[in-house]
Amino acid sequence: MTTLLVSHQFQVRFGAQIAESAARAGFGAELIALPPDPAARLADAECGRVEIAFFSGDVFPDFSRQFFSAARKAPRLKWLHVFNAGVDHPIYTEMLGRGVRLTTSAGSTAEPIAQTAIMGLLALARGFPRWLHAQRRREWDPERKQPPRDLRGQTVLVLGLGKIGSEIARLARVLGLQVIGVRRGPRRADDQVDELHPPAALRGLLPRCDWLVIACPLTPETRGLVDAGLIAALPRGARIINVARGEIVAEQALIAALRSGHLAGAYLDVFETEPLPPDSPLWDMPNVLVTPHNSAAAAGNDERVLAIFLDNLGRWHRGEPLVNEVAAKT
């Protein structure tokens, strides 16, 4: 019998499905659910039985403390699966340091995030910020003096070609954009890019780009990567889209470039400080679109995350490699 720690909500919604999937794979699965009150704690005896923990989307943020308190008190915990793709939080380093295997749900939100990024690109390209401001003023204000450039033939650089970046690149090519991808790994047959370059080439590529889309994970190498120097390397009138992590971009340098007109606009779903402080100038900039770290929101996410977990649960039982496993740092 394999014992899994899950949230109360997850047990109600998906408990039977997990049990059925385990039974089809030839083993039993017992679910230990967190108390429905986030202030309550799971009994130590129950924590002592947990082998696998599933950090599902309904846990974050209100039940996160409760969940990881139980995980920390689970001496038999061998595997933690998380609903998200990013694992830059210290708790994951702690778990890996304990020898707990860690897998993510990378790819489960690739479509909604990519679609939201492309929405931001299209909105900026077509001048929607101007129209939205005019709508709030109830002012009929068509753009006649400086119509927007055709999108076809412009160049977008996608920084990070994981599952999210790859989907952004695919959609961008459908719109007629020339796509430059930046990734550490070699080119693959299914890469939807016109060019692929390593991160070391980034600065030299930027002068050719109308758009910089940031879709890479937050790591020690990418923290603060898009600084004043890289922003200055973009041509005047370029735009930035960030659906990755706010800490990748030097926010004050970004604000300065937007104010000076060097950057024509930005769509930002993530920020150095979240929630974005009310006094941030980004809220009021006419050439900036702000969303509250919500580009991944989609009704189908839970089912996609569950499918990844169930696949890995079968692999776990069979002793096969796990999908989306995070390597422990040496």
pLDDT over 80 at 329, yes or no:
no
Res 143: pLDDT? 82
Res 12: pLDDT? 95
Domains 2-108+299-326 and 110-290 share a fold: yes
For residue 2, the tally of other CB atoms under 10 A from its CB is 16
> What are the structural domain ranges in the chain?
2-108+299-326, 110-290
Residues tagged active-site: 245, 274, 293
Contact criterion met (CB below 8 Å) for 238 and 209:
yes
Q: What is the CATH architecture assignment of 2-108+299-326?
A: 3-Layer(aba) Sandwich (3.40)
CA dist., res. 104 & res. 53, Å (int): 12
Res 52: pLDDT? 98
Kindly state which CATH superfamily the domain 110-290 is placed in. NAD(P)-binding Rossmann-like Domain (3.40.50.720)
Token representation of residue 5: 């720690």
For residue 135, the tally of other CB atoms under 10 A from its CB is 12
- 56-80 pLDDT, tens per residue? 999 999 999 999 999 999 999 999 9
- Please, which pLDDT band fits residue 127 given cuts at 50, 70 and 90? very high
pLDDT over 70 at 330, yes or no:
no
pLDDT over 90 at 145, yes or no:
no
- Please, which pLDDT band fits residue 168 given cuts at 50, 70 and 90? very high
